[in-house]
C-alpha cells in the first residue's frame, strides 16, 4: 500500500543545518512535497520537487531526491528557533487525487 515514512524527532542547535529524511513507496509519484506545521496551525506548503529533478534549492531550503531508493530529504541551512515545527513529507496517492502524508518529523531548535 501507500506509505510515507519519516523519523519522528530531530533536535539541532541554532545555526546548525537540519536534515529531515523521508522514504516513500510510489515510484510513479510525479511531485513530492514538504509541508510545515507550526503549533495550533494548519499545514503550510514549504517546497516541492518534480520527480525528474535530483535537487531543488530555495533560499535556506534544499530538497534532494533519490528516485532509485525512493528517498527524499529536506535540508534547512542556518536553522533558526522559528524553524521549530513539524515537517511533513507527502506524495500523491495512487489514485492521483490527494496527497498522502507521513507522520511528520518534529524539529526542535535550541539556542
Partner 1 sequence: ETGVTQTPRHLVMGMTNKKSLKCEQHLGHNAMYWYKQSAKKPLELMFVYNFKEQTENNSVPSRFSPECPNSSHLFLHLHTLQPEDSALYLCASSPTGENEAFFGQGTRLTVV
Residues that bind partner 1 (CB under 8 A): 4, 31, 33, 35, 40-45, 48, 88, 92-93, 95-104
Rounded least distance, CB 11 to partner 1, Å: 18
Nearer to partner 1, 14 or 47 (CB): 47
Nearer to partner 1, 40 or 111 (CB): 40
- Distance of alpha carbon 101 from alpha carbon 92, whole angstroms: 9
- Distance of alpha carbon 38 from alpha carbon 59, whole angstroms: 20
Q: Strand, helix or coil at 81?
A: helix
Rounded least distance, CB 9 to partner 1, Å: 12
Are 16 and 110 a contacting pair, CB within 8 Å?
no
Amino acid at each position: 500500500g501507500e506509505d510515507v515514512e519519516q523519523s519522528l524527532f530531530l533536535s539541532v542547535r541554532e545555526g546548525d543545518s537540519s536534515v529531515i529524511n523521508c522514504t516513500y513507496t510510489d515510484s510513479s509519484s510525479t511531485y513530492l512535497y514538504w509541508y510545515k506545521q507550526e503549533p495550533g496551525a494548519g499545514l503550510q506548503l514549504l517546497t516541492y520537487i518534480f520527480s525528474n529533478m535530483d535537487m531543488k534549492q530555495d533560499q535556506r531550503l534544499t530538497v534532494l531526491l533519490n528516485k532509485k531508493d525512493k528517498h527524499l530529504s529536506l535540508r534547512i541551512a542556518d536553522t533558526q528557533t522559528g524553524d521549530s515545527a513539524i515537517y511533513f513529507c507527502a506524495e500523491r496517492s495512487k489514485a492521483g487525487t490527494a496527497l498522502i502524508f507521513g507522520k511528520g518529523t518534529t524539529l526542535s531548535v535550541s539556542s
